[in-house]
Amino acid sequence: MTNALSAEDSSVRLQTALAVGSNPDPVFLEMLVERCAVEPDFFVRDMLSWALTRLPPAITLPRLRRELDSERTQARSQALHTLSKIGDKSTWAWITCDMLRDADDEVARTAWRVAVVLVPEGEEKDLADELVLQLGRGERKVQLSLSRALADLGDVIKPALERAAESSDPAVAVHARATELLRQNPETAFDAALDEVKRMVALGPEWAADASEAGDC
């Protein structure tokens, strides 16, 4: 099984992960976790995570908790991803500010997603206040992930976004406004929202008033 999970052909690795998940056995726990940390193919990694969700949480969660402290970025990212799939609210305390601010974009993006899944009722505002600190970060893919995470928190994010939209940092202000447009209309294309806000910024001091009017429509 170990050889099959590390086979050169990704389809073989995918089928092996599927077989392991279809016949869950705790003996495969360590093998699956270790493979998650090094597997290069996205679809195989997702199947490995699915296989881990098929094992008893009582043994899987403590092992994933250890993986969150790994020096390997993919190990941390994939452990977070698997936690989001398991969805055990008791693991919320494991999602630290350091993870949400991780220097590695993939780890941070995954932490944002799992935080939104696990956040306890009543703590959404605190999470929103933390996430808005990352506005303006990275390239399009990173910014879109953050905007989606914030939008998934619902109306609670509006005050934090309004404050961020007044930032003296244009990248933060633009990202905040684009996120608000996405929150108001999930069907809005993120790139179109960014372009619209950039156009408003280019208009000068009047852009905030224009943006406000657009948000009222």
pLDDT tens for each residue of 172-217 = 998 998 898 888 877 766 777 677 666 665 655 554 444 445 444 3
State both tokens at 11.
């389809």
List CB contacts of 67: < 8 A, sequence separation 6 or more.
Answer: 33, 36, 37, 75, 76, 78, 79
> 12-58 pLDDT, tens per residue?
999 999 999 999 999 999 999 999 999 999 999 999 999 999 999 99
The secondary structure of residue 6, as a DSSP letter, is T
Checking if the pLDDT of 67 tops 50, the result is: yes
Asked if residue 45 lies in contact with residue 36, where contact means CB atoms within 8 angstroms, the answer is: yes
The C-alpha atoms of residue 65 and residue 94 are separated, in whole angstroms, by: 7
Query: Is the overall model pTM greater than 0.95, yes or no?
Result: no
Checking if the pLDDT of 104 tops 50, the result is: yes
The C-alpha atoms of residue 150 and residue 119 are separated, in whole angstroms, by: 12
Look up tokens 């199947």; give the residue: 47
Task: Write down the mean pLDDT value for the chain.
Answer: 89
Other C-beta atoms lying within 10 Å of the C-beta of residue 200:
20
